[in-house]
Amino acid sequence: MSRRRVVIVDDHAMFRSGVKAELGGAVQVVGEAPDVDKAVTVVLETRPDVVLLDVHLPGGGGSEVVRRVHQRGPEVKFLALSVSDAAEDVIGSIRAGARGYVTKTITGTELIEAIERVAEGDAVFSPRLAGFVLDAFAGSIEVAQVDEDLDRLTEREREVMRLIARGYAYKEVAKELFISIKTVETHVSSVLRKLQLSSRHELTRWASDRRLI
Amino acid sequence: MSDHIAVLPVRRATRSTDERLLGGVAAGVARHLGQPVLWVRAGFVVLATIGGCGVLLYAALWLVLPVEPDYRDYPDAPTGIAAATRSGKRTPRRTPSFDDVGPLVALAAVGLGVALLLRQVGLGANSTLFWPVLLATAGVAVLWRQADEAQRARWTDSSTRLGPLQALLGAGGWAAYVRLFAGLALVTGAIGVFFAQSGRFALLDDVLIAVLLGVVGLGLIAGPWVFRLTNDLTAERRARVRSQERADLAAHLHDSVLQTLTMIQKRADDPRTVATLARAQERDLRSWLYDDRDRAPDSLAAALRATAAEVEDAHGVPVEVVTVGDVSLSSAPSSRLLALTLAAREAVVNAAKHSGADKVDVYAEATRRRVEVFVRDRGAGFDETLIPPDRLGVRGSIIDRMHRHGGSADIRSAAGTGTEVRLTMAVATGDGAGENGG
C-alpha cells in the first residue's frame, strides 16, 4: 500500500510540526499552509489524498478553504481537525464539505486510521459528532417540507450513530449489529451525505442555540 | 542602540492630575523638564509678580497641555497589567485626594496677598479692574478644574451611554455642582462688580441683552456640533470598553495557562501529574472558549461533565462525555436522576481506577420517556459472575441503587475487550418532563 499523501493546514507552526512528528512515516506530508490563501494554492498544486484542515484559520476559516478548493478540484478530501468541539464548528465543517471531524486530542494511531478512512472515501465520525447528529435529527424538530430521504435517519443509521457516540469503533459497531464493516461504512457515509445536504432547517444555527429540553 | 534613535517617540508634556494643587500644570512641567516641582511653582509665582505674566502663562498651559492619560488608557500598558487593574487585581496609583485642600487654601492666600501687594505697589491706577479680574480668574480656574474632573470621570466610567449633561458634570455629585455654580457665580460676580465700580449702570440693560443674544446665537451655532461631539465620544468609549473586555479575556486565558505551564515545569519528572495538569487546563480553556452549555447548571449533562472533570483530576484518565438531549435533574420524581448520576459516577470511577484503559467514554441520551447513560472503557474487563459479594462498588452503588429507584443497570464485560455499563431510568410521562430536541 502506497503511503497517503497529506497536506496539513493549521495556523500554528508548532501544531503542524507536532502532527507531522506524530504521523511519522505512516503518511507522506507533501505540504503545509498557515492560512486560507496559501492552503488553496498548496492543495491545488500538490493534489493530496487528504487535507488535514484546522477549522479556525486566518482568512475565512476552514470552510472557506473547502469551498474554494472544491470549485476547482471537487475530488479533494478534507478531514477537519480542531481544538474546538463546539457544535457550530463541527456541523459547520461537515456542511462545508469535510468528510470527517476529529479533535486535536486524537492519538497518532487514530489519526492515521482516520486519514486512511477518509482517503478511501468513507466518513470519520467521532463520538461527539455522532452525538450532534443524533441531536440534530431528533424527532420533534418540525420541518415545513420533509424530504423523507434526506431529513430523517433510518433506524439502522440511528443505531450506528448511537454506538459510535458510545465510543464504539467501526469494527465494534459491526460486531454488535451483526453486519460487515463495509455496511457500517455505508451507513456512516449516508449519514454524512444527509448532514451535508439535508434541508432540515439551519442545522448550523440549531447547533448554536440548543437548549435544555 | 543607534538603530533605534530614529524611531524615538516625541516626548510630550502633560498635566499631572495626580500631583496637582490647581491644574497640575506645574507638576507636569516639572516632570517634563526633570526639575523639582517646588522650583517650577516658585517660578510661576515670581513670574506672576511681573504684571501677572505667570498667571497668564499658567492659564495658557492649562488650556494647551492635555491631561496625562490614565494608564488604564495608555496604549503601551501591557495587556495583562491593564486588565488586572481593571478587574481590581492590582492596586491602582494614588488618585488625587480632594479632601487635601490645605495647600489649595494656602496657595489662594498667597495669591491674594501678592495681588494686594501689587495693588499697593503700583497697579492702583487700574483699581476698577482689579477685583473683577481677580474674581473672574478664580471663577475660570474653578470651571476649568471641573472640566478636568469631568474628563477623568469619562475615562473611568464604563457605562455605555453618555448624556451631554454627564459630559459636563462628570460623575456628578455635589462637588461637581458646587464647582460649576461657584465658577459661574464668580464670573458673573466679576461682571457685576465691574459695572458697580465703574458706575455705568445705564449700560447694564443693553449689555445684558447683547450678551443674552450672543449666548443664544452661540448655542444655535454650537449646539448641533456639541451634540455630535457627544455622540462621537459615546461611540469611541463603547469601542474602548469592547477592547478592554477583549483584553480581560486574553489576560484570563494567559493567566491560567501560565500557572499551569509553571506547574508542569516543576513536575516535569512526573508524567502522570503533567498529563493531569494539562488535561485540567485543556478542560478549563475549552469551557471558556467554546462552551455555552453552563446555562443549565442543574442539568444531567452538566452533572455528568462535572463528574468527568472530577474523575479526570483524581485518576488522570480522560473522560469524554457526549450527550444527546438533556433534562433538568429535578424533572423526574423522587430524585431518580440524582441516583442515575451517582451510579454513573461510580461506573466512571471504576473504569478509571480498575480497567487500565487510557480513556473512558460516557454517552447519555435523554428522551421524553427515559434517560440512558452508557459508560464504556476498552480496558481489562472482568467476569460479572466472579464479582465477590463484598465488592460494594458495582453491586451496591450501581445495580442496587438503580433498582431501588426504579431503573435498571446492565453490565457487559469481557476480559480483554473492556466493559460497558448501561444505566436506564424511566422518566414519568405526562409530568411535563419536556420535549426532545428543539
Q: Residue B216 and residue B294: Cα distance in Å, rounded? A: 57
Q: Residue A200 and residue A195: Cα distance in Å, rounded? A: 9
Which residues of chain A neighbour B324 with C-beta distances below 8 Å? 131, 134-135, 138, 165
Q: Model confidence at B102, in pLDDT bands (50, 70, 90)?
A: low
Q: Do A162 and B365 touch (CB under 8 A)?
A: yes
Query: Cell 462552551 sits at which residue?
Result: B291
Q: Other C-beta atoms within 10 Å of B438: how many?
A: 16
Residue B377, phi then psi, degrees to nearest 5: -135, 160
DSSP 8-class letter at A65: H
According to the model, what pLDDT value does residue B93 have?
A: 46
Q: Do A89 and B290 touch (CB under 8 A)?
A: yes
> Following CA atoms B178, B183, B188, B191 in sequence, which dihedral angle do they give, to the nearest 10 degrees?
150
According to the model, what pLDDT value does residue A141 have?
A: 45
Q: Please check the confidence at residue A122 and state whether its pLDDT lies above 80.
A: yes
Q: Do B436 and A213 touch (CB under 8 A)?
A: yes
Question: Mean pLDDT over all residues of chain B?
Answer: 74
Residue B374, phi then psi, degrees to nearest 5: -115, 130
Residues A161 and A130 sit within 8 Å (Cβ to Cβ): yes
Classified as helix, coil or strand, A56 is: coil
Distances from the Cα of B321 to the Cα of A111, B37, B251, B373, B410, angstroms = 20, 65, 29, 10, 19
- Tell me how far apart the terminal alpha carbons of chain A are, to the nearest angstrom: 49
According to the model, what pLDDT value does residue B74 have?
A: 43
Q: Do B420 and A83 touch (CB under 8 A)?
A: no
Q: Do A138 and B436 touch (CB under 8 A)?
A: yes
Q: Do B366 and A213 touch (CB under 8 A)?
A: yes
Q: Do B327 and A212 touch (CB under 8 A)?
A: yes
Q: Do B286 and A85 touch (CB under 8 A)?
A: yes
Residues A140 and B436 sit within 8 Å (Cβ to Cβ): yes
According to the model, what pLDDT value does residue B363 have?
A: 92
Nearest to B322 among A139, A165, A208 (CB): A165
Q: Could you tell me which residues of chain B have a Cβ less than 8 Å from any Cβ in chain A?
A: 282, 286, 289-293, 295-296, 299, 318, 320, 322-328, 359, 361, 363, 365-366, 374, 376, 378, 420, 434-438
- Starting at the edge strand found earlier in the chain, the sheet holding B360-366 runs B319-324, B360-366, B370-377, B418-426, B407-414
The C-alpha cell at A110 is 487514530
According to the model, what pLDDT value does residue B427 have?
A: 81
According to the model, what pLDDT value does residue B388 have?
A: 60
Residues A80 and A61 sit within 8 Å (Cβ to Cβ): no
Q: Model confidence at A14, in pLDDT bands (50, 70, 90)?
A: confident
Residues A137 and A192 sit within 8 Å (Cβ to Cβ): no
Nearest to B438 among A162, A168, A213 (CB): A213
Which residues of chain A neighbour B318 with C-beta distances below 8 Å? 105
Q: Do A128 and B320 touch (CB under 8 A)?
A: yes
Sign of CA dihedral B326, B329, B334, B337: positive
Q: Do B361 and A127 touch (CB under 8 A)?
A: yes
Search chain A and give the residue with CA nearest B300: A212
Task: Please state the pTM of the whole predicted model.
Answer: 0.59
Q: Please check the confidence at residue A7 and state whether its pLDDT lies above 90.
A: yes
According to the model, what pLDDT value does residue B156 have?
A: 57
Q: Residue A38 and residue A52: Cα distance in Å, rounded? A: 14
CB-count burial class (<10 Å; 0-12, 13-18, 19+) for B366: buried
According to the model, what pLDDT value does residue B303 have?
A: 87
In B291-335, where does DSSP find H-type helix? 300-315
Q: Residue B49 and residue B272: Cα distance in Å, rounded? A: 78
Cα of A115 to nearest chain B Cα, Å: 21
The C-alpha cell at B363 is 454517552
Determine which of A6-20, A90-104, B20-34 has the lowest per-residue pLDDT on average: B20-34
Which residues of chain A neighbour B434 with C-beta distances below 8 Å? 212-213
Q: Please check the confidence at residue B231 and state whether its pLDDT lies above 60.
A: yes
CB-count burial class (<10 Å; 0-12, 13-18, 19+) for B132: buried
Nearest to A166 among B292, B318, B376 (CB): B376
Q: Residue A200 and residue A147: Cα distance in Å, rounded? A: 9
Q: Residue B215 and residue B223: Cα distance in Å, rounded? A: 11
Determine which of A44-58, A83-97, A174-188, B168-182 has the lowest per-residue pLDDT on average: B168-182
Interface A–B counts its CB contacts (< 8 A) at 80
- To the nearest 5 percent, what fractions of chain B are helix, strand and coil? 60, 10, 30
Residues B366 and B326 sit within 8 Å (Cβ to Cβ): yes
Q: What angle do CA B64, B69, B71 make, to 5 degrees?
A: 165
Q: Please check the confidence at residue B120 and state whether its pLDDT lies above 50.
A: yes
Q: Do B325 and A138 touch (CB under 8 A)?
A: yes
Nearest to A85 among B290, B326, B361 (CB): B290
Of A84 and A22, the one with more pLDDT: A22
Sign of CA dihedral B345, B347, B350, B356: negative
Q: Please check the confidence at residue B432 and state whether its pLDDT lies above 50.
A: no
